[in-house]
Chains A and B, each alone.
Chain A
Amino acid sequence: MRPQRFDVIVVGAGHAGVEAARAAARMGRRVGLCTLSNATVAHMPCNPAIGGTAKGHLVREIDALGGLMGEAIDATGIQFKLLNRSRGPAVRSPRAQADKRRYGEWVADALAREERITWILGRVSRVTVRADRVTGVELETASGEAGGERLESRAVVVTTGTFLNGLVHVGERRTPAGRAGEPPSRRLAESLKALGLPWGRLKTGTPPRLDRRSIDFSRFAEAPGDEAPVPFSFMTPAIERRQIVCHQLHTTERVHDMVRDNIARSPLYNGRIEGIGPRYCPSLEDKVMRFPHRERHHIVLEPEGIDVDEVYVNGYSMSLPAEVQEALVHALPGLEGAVVLRPGYAVEYDFVQPTALNRTYEAAGVAGLFLAGQVNGTSGYEEAAGQGIVAGINAARAVAGEEPFVLGRDEAYLGVLADDLTTRGCLEPYRMFTSRAEYRLLLRIDNADLRLTERGREAGLVDDRRWARFEGRRGRYEENVRRVSGTTVTLADGTRARAGQALRRPDAELEQLTRGDGLDLELADGEEQADLWSVETHFKYAGYLERQQAAIERARRMEDRRIPSGFRYEGLPGLSREMAERLTEVRPETLGQALRIPGVTPVAVALVGARVGA
């Protein structure tokens, strides 16, 4: 039988995989999308939510490029909240609770509409390579043996999340699994290791799930969403759906005592877990043991859907034995009678040290092999999706011999993400923070489309509908900036000033100025808020943006100087062996990137710079 042939094969249909597959398909490639189960497409095995600080930025950027995530959450979100609403526009970030099942279904439907995507149900056992080029993948047989069906392609995007040698811990019980109840991928892990990719082991965890019907919600404070939800997607005019409330509670001293009493039974504390967990997402054990003086910790009860009974206990992730977990749940005031549907667990998994990848997410030594998502050491659906869309675009381009698609640190959080991962690697699961972006004031959710939609259009991801909408918005933005710059207005205190200047005052608002004389702006129906916001921020940040722009120009001198691929560092006069090793391992693409490699000195970079020329 002749093997099935594709342009691009995507392994895994999680948040990275679906974006990669969709992007490649939209760019005209025939895509084979391999998944273990149709029921876990764009699955949320942990927190049923999308967004959050900096993560919301990533979603906006994915959306601006023409990706799925923004529209998916807008269509299936059940509680929306704009974080940092009272703070500056650069750090406002949307977050939403998802109806977990509907979210996955929405994404699966969207992919089903892509004619170029072929679904392949099965477990990939290895990536096939000939002469350092990917030739496709091989599946396991129906009985789980190696040597099943072969699929051919010139690019493979591996998005296997926590499945590579996954090991789930619940107390003393250890089960090989990618997620609770789903067997891990061992053969694929070995196949990737055999290709010479460097490895590490990480750990993450999730809390127990409770039965909604067994909880007395009247005992808790309500945590509602925003009254006027701000959508993630530039394509969503408004979110009209009814929103749910979450509920808030706190741990107690008794809970802390119980954790301490049982700490020896936690695989995190008895040495059974070797992988490194995320510090920004500490387990209950870590919270109690590492911060003994904090009297109580936040917990939020989050429904996993509008009409499901599963409730996610946010802030209560743990890997203690199931019976201890149950006791810990019952120890919380209000949850005395709660039914635990499934216990929390910790999962250890192999990840590829992403310094082995280029900023396109292509592995350095294997042409056509791309990796994206949690397999690269990140955590979070948004980080995964962000890598997925960029990897998908690059896989699609690679098979056509086209130029790589790389976003700069000054263009997008997606650029920061790719640069951080491939330059510095991961010592713990990587999560995006706004503080990682040195050009934070520039990389905002309100201008994500102005920054990226054109790039998405060039890449072939942005359809006509989105493009038309974007052009309208960009036209209004540019026109409004002109008008604000050129209009003199009367301020509340009677003085007159240029509207643009007036807006630099902390308390000045553009909307207020439009109510007075002379300043008439072009605002689209239903988009007034978004239109006003971008223009106002343009002026509020003006002085700072100029300085940030100057810093970008300075940095660009180094960012624009490319180091040829395959550049030999060993033996370069003046370069210490340690530097040469570090540089060889990371293979920076530019002098600017080389400067960001931990431990590499400016002098070493100058030596390289002298050799590669201007």
Chain B
Amino acid sequence: MFATDDTIVAIATPPGPGGIGVVRVSGARAVRIAGAILAGPPKLEPRRVTLTEALDPADNRPLDRVLVTYFPGPRSYTGEDVLEISGHGSPVILRQIVGAATAAGARLAEPGEFTFRAYLRGRIDLVQAEAIQDLVTAVTPRQARVAFDQLEGTATGAIGAIDRAVFDLVARLEASLDFPEEGYHFVDGEAAGAEIASLAEQVRRLVASSRHGRLIREGCQVAVVGKPNVGKSSLFNALCGVQRTIVTATAGTTRDLVTETIDLEGIPVTLVDTAGIRTTTDRIEAEGARRARAALEAAAAVVVVLDRSRPLDGDDRALLDDTSTQPRLVVVNKRDLPAAWCPAVRPQVAACKHRVETCLVDGRSAGAIRDALLALMEGRGTSRETPAVSNVRHIGLLVAAAAALERASAPATAGAGEELVLADLEEARRALEEITGKRTPEAVIERIFERFCIGK
């Protein structure tokens, strides 16, 4: 159901990586949510910007340094209490902030819902509120279903198939309850249990694949780390120079991280160049290194660049240790120069599955790095056939559907009442129909009459 009195949250800036990104929270609980997800928590002053950190609710670790602006209602965009949290433009980080807000009680906003609220609270007139159209389109059940059915693609196909299977099962179970004396054996309890378990598994697989889907849609951040002068800049140039498909090239706004986005076979990969990480006593350089490490932690993958022409030192080994649990690609550069060490016999390097030896001068070896990077990215997702779901809202709904199906499967197998199995199946159905478009309340009954000759 569509409520107007709860607190909503969404990423307010356009999808995809950017220099900064804004997460907007609107509603009565906005301040309470700020208290839950911001370090301190800070004392927010109306219409003032506060520098703080957004925290991961799971472990209270900082997700990002953010600038928070608080607009108490009614003098705000929506007329409600509004928070605008500006973070760094990584979709991954922004999504985590949104996740923290939903964990603290906010609801993911429908498209256009902020504008809609602004209209409801009299902040804008309807002519301004064109975005309401988006919302109308998104939540008109029949239109949504029609739109969904017209979509092509393996993900919608898979969700649609699961949705139809759940619906069909619901119809048969309902038939067995409402028409016990029709001489039909509508459904077999054990088979239904197995079917539900299999559907739960399918949904779970879709959720698992969603990470891969998001990778394609929103791309990912890859931190390039290494000591100074190992060839990081050459690596940048090599990757960007060969394939001139730079999406954005932005210098980080508040910290000295340089990002470049390249198109890697359809995956927008944001390369984050970091200050060289090494032990130092210089305060500024130390701060740079600290940020480099933070970027490294936030990144989906890491490229560790090593220089084969100089001996491996403590800094190299520390980097290799620090990144050992992350998906990473080790680039052993300067293959063209006399070797000071041999990658194959250094256990720390030899153990890396994704490893490439390069010569990055003049853009050479770029192809090899692209291939290695792609292999690393794809290895992180699941197999290629699994359809990918890339919409955050859809993933949330699929998770809810999977949980409801799992709850339904055990009682179904154990032969507990159909009405109890249905209670959970209906919940799964509702979640799936949020994606595929709602059916009318009559749909189940219509389905039964379509398939079975009911009634005396």
A404 CB within 8 Å of chain B = no
Q: Are B177 and A555 in contact (CB under 8 A)?
A: no
- Give the contact-size bracket for chain B: 35 or more
Q: Are A603 and B136 in contact (CB under 8 A)?
A: yes
Interface segment, A128-136, A141-149, A430-438?
Answer: A430-438
Q: Are B420 and A544 in contact (CB under 8 A)?
A: yes
Closest to A300 in B: B456
Closest to A506 in B: B416
Q: Give A609 to B426 CA distance when docked, in angstroms.
A: 27
A324 CB within 8 Å of chain B = no
Q: Are B132 and A278 in contact (CB under 8 A)?
A: no
The interface residues of chain B lying within 8 Å CB-to-CB of A548 are 423
Given contacts A300-B456, A574-B132, A606-B2, contact A91 B419 (CB under 8 A): yes
Given contacts A53-B179, A279-B449, contact A315 B132 (CB under 8 A): no
Q: Are A557 and B3 in contact (CB under 8 A)?
A: yes
Given contacts A53-B180, A280-B454, A573-B126, contact A88 B1 (CB under 8 A): no
B77 CB within 8 Å of chain A = no
Q: Tell me the minimal C-beta distance from A592 to chain B in angstroms.
A: 9
Q: Are B418 and A91 in contact (CB under 8 A)?
A: yes
A598 CB within 8 Å of chain B = yes
Q: Give A547 to B444 CA distance when docked, in angstroms.
A: 22
B396 CB within 8 Å of chain A = no
A554 CB within 8 Å of chain B = yes
Q: Give A547 to B417 CA distance when docked, in angstroms.
A: 17
B318 CB within 8 Å of chain A = no
B345 CB within 8 Å of chain A = no
A558 CB within 8 Å of chain B = yes
The interface residues of chain B lying within 8 Å CB-to-CB of A90 are 417, 419
Q: Give A602 to B110 CA distance when docked, in angstroms.
A: 12
Q: Tell me the minimal C-beta distance from B110 to chain A in angstroms.
A: 9
Q: Give A435 to B423 CA distance when docked, in angstroms.
A: 11
Closest to A599 in B: B142
The interface residues of chain B lying within 8 Å CB-to-CB of A47 are 456
- Contact for B177 among A280, A294, A434, CB less than 8 A: A434
- Contact for A88 among B178, B417, B445, CB less than 8 A: B417
A83 CB within 8 Å of chain B = yes
Given contacts A291-B453, A433-B178, A544-B423, contact A557 B5 (CB under 8 A): yes
A610 CB within 8 Å of chain B = yes
- Contact for B456 among A279, A281, A547, A603, CB less than 8 A: A281
The interface residues of chain B lying within 8 Å CB-to-CB of A299 are 456
A297 CB within 8 Å of chain B = yes
Q: Are B1 and A297 in contact (CB under 8 A)?
A: no
Q: Are B177 and A574 in contact (CB under 8 A)?
A: no
Interface centre among B3, B177, B411, B442 (most CB of A within 10 A): B177
Q: Give A228 to B22 CA distance when docked, in angstroms.
A: 69
Please provide the chain B residues from 1 to 41 with a CB less than 8 Å away from any CB of chain A in the complex.
1-5
Q: Are B441 and A315 in contact (CB under 8 A)?
A: no
Closest to A95 in B: B181
Q: Give A548 to B125 CA distance when docked, in angstroms.
A: 39
The interface residues of chain A lying within 8 Å CB-to-CB of B182 are 298
Q: Give A596 to B455 CA distance when docked, in angstroms.
A: 27
The interface residues of chain B lying within 8 Å CB-to-CB of A300 are 456
- B381-410 vs A, CB cutoff 8 Å, 1 = contact: the mask equals 000000000000000000000000000000
Closest to B143 in A: A601
The interface residues of chain B lying within 8 Å CB-to-CB of A610 are 4, 120
Closest to A52 in B: B181
- Contact for B445 among A89, A433, A596, CB less than 8 A: A433
Q: Are A435 and B414 in contact (CB under 8 A)?
A: no
B140 CB within 8 Å of chain A = yes
Please provide the chain A residues from 40 to 94 with a CB less than 8 Å away from any CB of chain B in the complex.
47, 53-54, 83-84, 87-91
Q: Are B177 and A84 in contact (CB under 8 A)?
A: yes
- A603-614 vs B, CB cutoff 8 Å, 1 = contact: the mask equals 101110110000
The interface residues of chain A lying within 8 Å CB-to-CB of B135 are 603
Q: Are B453 and A297 in contact (CB under 8 A)?
A: yes
Closest to A579 in B: B136
A287 CB within 8 Å of chain B = yes
- Contact for B2 among A53, A83, A603, CB less than 8 A: A603
Please provide the chain B residues from 117 to 131 with a CB less than 8 Å away from any CB of chain A in the complex.
119-120, 125-126, 129
The interface residues of chain A lying within 8 Å CB-to-CB of B71 are none
Q: Tell me the minimal C-beta distance from A422 to chain B in angstroms.
A: 14
- A557-568 vs B, CB cutoff 8 Å, 1 = contact: the mask equals 110000000000
A595 CB within 8 Å of chain B = yes
Q: Give A557 to B126 CA distance when docked, in angstroms.
A: 26
- B282-320 vs A, CB cutoff 8 Å, 1 = contact: the mask equals 000000000000000000000000000000000000000
B42 CB within 8 Å of chain A = no
B104 CB within 8 Å of chain A = no
Q: Give A605 to B414 CA distance when docked, in angstroms.
A: 42
- A11-55 vs B, CB cutoff 8 Å, 1 = contact: the mask equals 000000000000000000000000000000000000100000110
Q: Tell me the minimal C-beta distance from B113 to chain A in angstroms.
A: 9
Q: Tell me the minimal C-beta distance from B73 to chain A in angstroms.
A: 15
Q: Are B419 and A87 in contact (CB under 8 A)?
A: yes
Closest to A288 in B: B453
A306 CB within 8 Å of chain B = no
Q: Tell me the minimal C-beta distance from B188 to chain A in angstroms.
A: 14
Given contacts A298-B183, A557-B5, A574-B126, contact A603 B177 (CB under 8 A): no
The interface residues of chain A lying within 8 Å CB-to-CB of B181 are 83
Q: Are B455 and A279 in contact (CB under 8 A)?
A: yes
Q: Are A603 and B116 in contact (CB under 8 A)?
A: yes
Q: Give A554 to B427 CA distance when docked, in angstroms.
A: 14
The interface residues of chain B lying within 8 Å CB-to-CB of A330 are none
B246 CB within 8 Å of chain A = no
- A274-318 vs B, CB cutoff 8 Å, 1 = contact: the mask equals 000011111000010011001001111000000000000011010
B273 CB within 8 Å of chain A = no
B415 CB within 8 Å of chain A = yes
Please provide the chain B residues from 135 to 173 with a CB less than 8 Å away from any CB of chain A in the complex.
135-136, 139-142
Q: Which residues of A contact B (CB under 8 A)?
A: 47, 53-54, 83-84, 87-91, 278-282, 287, 290-291, 294, 297-300, 314-315, 317, 424, 433-436, 438, 440-441, 506, 541, 544, 547-548, 554-555, 557-558, 573-574, 595-596, 598-599, 601-603, 605-607, 609-610
Provide 18 A-B residue pairs closer than 8 Å at the C-beta atoms, listed in order of the A residue: A53-B180, A83-B181, A84-B177, A87-B177, A278-B455, A280-B454, A299-B456, A314-B456, A315-B456, A424-B441, A434-B177, A547-B423, A574-B126, A599-B142, A601-B139, A602-B1, A606-B2, A610-B120
Q: What 9 additional pairs, Cβ within 8 angstroms, besides A435-B177, A610-B120?
A: A47-B456, A294-B453, A315-B456, A433-B174, A433-B178, A440-B419, A544-B420, A601-B139, A606-B2
Q: Please give me the 4 A-B residue pairs with the lowest Cβ-Cβ distance, nearest first.
A: A88-B417, A602-B2, A315-B456, A291-B453
